[in-house]
Amino acid sequence: MGRALRVVGGLTGDVLCTVDAGPSLTVHGLKEAVEREAGIPFLTQLLLAGDQRLHDSDVLTEALDARDCAGPAVVTLLRLDPAKVSALELARRGGPLSTLDEAYSLDRDVVLAAVARNGYALGWAAPRFRSDREVVLAATRSWCGALQLAAKELQRDPELLRAAGARR
């Protein structure tokens, strides 16, 4: 049994659901649980601990502990703009970044979704994303050649090299 975690609505503060946050639960897993328990679609969720945004790859207990969340564990849920949700859905289906409105092609979440589906998309991403370790790791996990598109300082990163080697 893990820590009881309340998920509250950002505008109302109403409890949307309570989830058992085991030691290895990721934010991605929490979003899946919220979709199951509260019926809020995964892609529409943005989660916060205090004033800090939580990322899908974060291990929830570590993220909450690192943010000094004392007392009962509470995560705030905000809902994303429908246009951004559409851009995320297109990116997750492998749609090219070049077809998106510029604001969304420069959005880290959208780029991360695109490269996770197709690592080659890193070549079309804004240069700043080629220096973003999490984006490069997601791209490399889907296509080993993505590491060649990364910023020079990341091309020797041991974890990225392992990810590229695992895809060969």
Q: What is the pLDDT of residues 117-139, one digit of tens each?
A: 999 999 999 999 999 999 999 99
- Token readout for 142 is 């889907």
Taking the whole predicted model, whether its pTM rises above 0.75 is answered as: yes
Q: Which residues contact 86 (CB under 8 A, 6 or more apart)?
A: none
Which of 25 and 3 is assigned the larger pLDDT? 25
SS3 106: coil
* Boundary-marking domain end, from 80, 103, 131: 80
pLDDT tops 90 at residue 102: no
- Side-chain half-sphere CA neighbours of 27 within 13 A: 20
Decide: 120 and 145 in contact? Cβ < 8 Å. Answer: yes
Let me know whether 17 and 48 are in one domain: yes
Of 135, 9, 6, which is closest to residue 64 (Cα–Cα)?
Answer: 6
Shared domain check, 60 and 114: no
Range of the domain at 109: 83-167
**At residue 42, does pLDDT exceed 60?**
yes
Is residue 55 located within the same domain as residue 97?
no
Q: Where a domain ends, among 55, 80, 105? A: 80
Q: Rounded CA gap, 76 and 86, in Å?
A: 22
Q: Look up residue 86 and give its two tokens.
A: 């559409």
Helix axes 133-142, 158-167, angle to 10 degrees: 20
> Residue 87's pLDDT is what?
95
Domain boundary among 80, 111, 139: 80
- Average model confidence (pLDDT) across the chain: 91
* 6-15, 21-30, 56-65: least confident range: 56-65
Same domain, 9 and 73: yes
Rounded-to-integer distance, Cα 118 and Cα 110, Å: 12
Q: Is pLDDT of 74 > 80?
A: yes
Query: Do 100 and 61 reside in the same domain of the chain?
Result: no
Whether 68 has a pLDDT exceeding 80, the answer reads no
Distances in whole angstroms, Cα of residue 53 to Cα of each of 57, 70, 75 = 12, 17, 10
> pLDDT tens, 104-120?
989 999 999 999 999 99
Alpha-carbon gap, residue 74 to 151, rounded angstroms: 37
pLDDT > 70 fraction of the chain, expressed in percent and rounded: 94
Q: Are 1 and 18 in contact (CB under 8 A)?
A: no
pLDDT score, position 106: 93
Q: Are residues 125 and 149 in the same domain?
A: yes
- What is the total count of domains within the chain? 2
pLDDT, residue 46, reads 96
